[in-house]
């Protein structure tokens, strides 16, 4: 998985073994973000591709990328080794989001979560993956993955998606959803269709109208948390990894 694509080309020059590219994100899917000049070339050079959803693969195909090669669909689930059954840190409550985020107005509708914070009256808890944004309630970034999962357990809800539809959230299954489930925390999602099936079985709330966000955030999370704990074992890396294993065997 790369945040930049040039290492694929560097590897292809230095090895005769297959190079597999795990496409977690495409810059071409992000509004208001500069394109990665190596993205298209790297996808063409890779011997095989890993996509997080089939919709994301189809998006890449529609963009004209060279997707006609071996591939595996491996959802962004979390290994069950990170699951916690009961929070050990003090309860904070409210809605949290963690990972990459932009300043107000900096990133179109992709990583600018200020509209979400505004809908919640500023009461959006943030664990930024980079510089602190200029909205919400900022918490220090947790580098230790296990501690991050414990921190997520302190909140009633994790948020995924955006107020406005865009290709990134519309095609992918965000890693943050599985991390919230590992913490036992249900999710609120919007304009993120891959999360809707989890919400449909009670692991969260899926919104069609942003104006419903405050009411969703005020909903008692207890039955949703119970559903997360009962069902998250179905959605783990261990259960999803077989297609990738088979692709490795075929390529080697």
Question: Is 228 in contact with 203 (CB distance < 8 Å)?
Answer: yes
What span, in angstroms and rounded, lies between the C-alpha atoms of 15 and 61?
27
What pTM, to 2 d.p., does this model score?
0.92
Sequence-separated (6 or more) residues with CB below 8 Å from residue 212 = none
Tokens matching residue 90: 């003090």
Tokens matching residue 94: 């409210």
Phi, psi of 129 (to 5 degrees): -85, 0
Tokens matching residue 219: 């909903």
Looking at residue 36, its pLDDT comes to: 81
Positions of E strands within the chain: 20-23, 48-51, 71-73, 95-99, 124-128, 137-138, 157-161, 187-190, 204-207
What span, in angstroms and rounded, lies between the C-alpha atoms of 187 and 165?
18
Looking at residue 4, its pLDDT comes to: 81
Name the one residue in this structure whose structure tokens are 């979390």.
Answer: 78
Question: Is 240 in contact with 75 (CB distance < 8 Å)?
Answer: yes
Give the residue ranges of the chain where pLDDT is below 70: 1-3, 31-34, 107-109
Question: Contacts from 219-225 at CB under 8 Å and sequence distance 24+?
Answer: 221/156, 221/157, 221/185, 221/186, 224/186, 225/184, 225/185, 225/186
Looking at residue 80, its pLDDT comes to: 97
Which DSSP helix (H) or strand (E) runs through 250?
helix 242-251
Phi, psi of 96 (to 5 degrees): -125, 160
What span, in angstroms and rounded, lies between the C-alpha atoms of 81 and 178?
12
Looking at residue 2, its pLDDT comes to: 63
Tell me the DSSP string of 139-184. -----SHHHHHHHHTTSSEEEEE-SS--HHHHH---HHHHHHHHTT
Nearest of 74, 112, 67, 31 to residue 239 by alpha carbon: 74
Name the one residue in this structure whose structure tokens are 């297959």.
Answer: 18
pLDDT tens by residue, 186-198: 999 999 999 999 9
Looking at residue 109, its pLDDT comes to: 65
């Amino acid at each position: 998985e790369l945040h930049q694509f040039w290492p694929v080309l560097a590897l292809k020059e230095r090895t005769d073994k297959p190079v597999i590219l795990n496409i977690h994100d495409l810059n071409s899917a992000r509004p208001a973000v500069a394109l990665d000049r190596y993205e298209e070339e790297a996808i063409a050079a890779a011997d095989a591709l890993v996509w997080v959803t089939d919709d994301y693969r189809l998006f890449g195909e529609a963009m004209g990328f060279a997707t006609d090669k071996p591939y595996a669909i491996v959802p962004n689930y979390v290994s069950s080794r990170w699951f916690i059954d009961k929070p050990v840190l003090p309860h904070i409550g409210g809605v949290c989001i963690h990972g990459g985020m932009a300043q107000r107005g900096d990133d179109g509708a992709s990583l600018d979560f200020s509209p979400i914070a505004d809908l919640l009256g500023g009461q959006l808890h943030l664990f930024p993956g980079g510089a602190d944004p200029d909205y919400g309630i900022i918490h220090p970034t947790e580098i230790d993955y296990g501690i991050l999962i414990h921190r997520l357990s302190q909140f009633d809800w994790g948020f995924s998606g955006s107020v406005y539809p865009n290709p990134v959230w519309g095609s992918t299954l965000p890693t943050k959803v599985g991390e919230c489930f590992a913490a036992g925390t249900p999710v609120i999602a919007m304009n993120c269709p891959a999360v809707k099936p989890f919400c449909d079985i009670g692991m969260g709330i899926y919104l069609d109208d942003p104006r419903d966000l405050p009411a969703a955030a005020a909903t008692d999370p207890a039955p949703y948390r119970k559903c997360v704990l009962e069902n998250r074992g179905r959605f783990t890396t261990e259960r999803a990894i077989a297609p990738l294993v088979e692709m490795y065997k075929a390529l080697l």
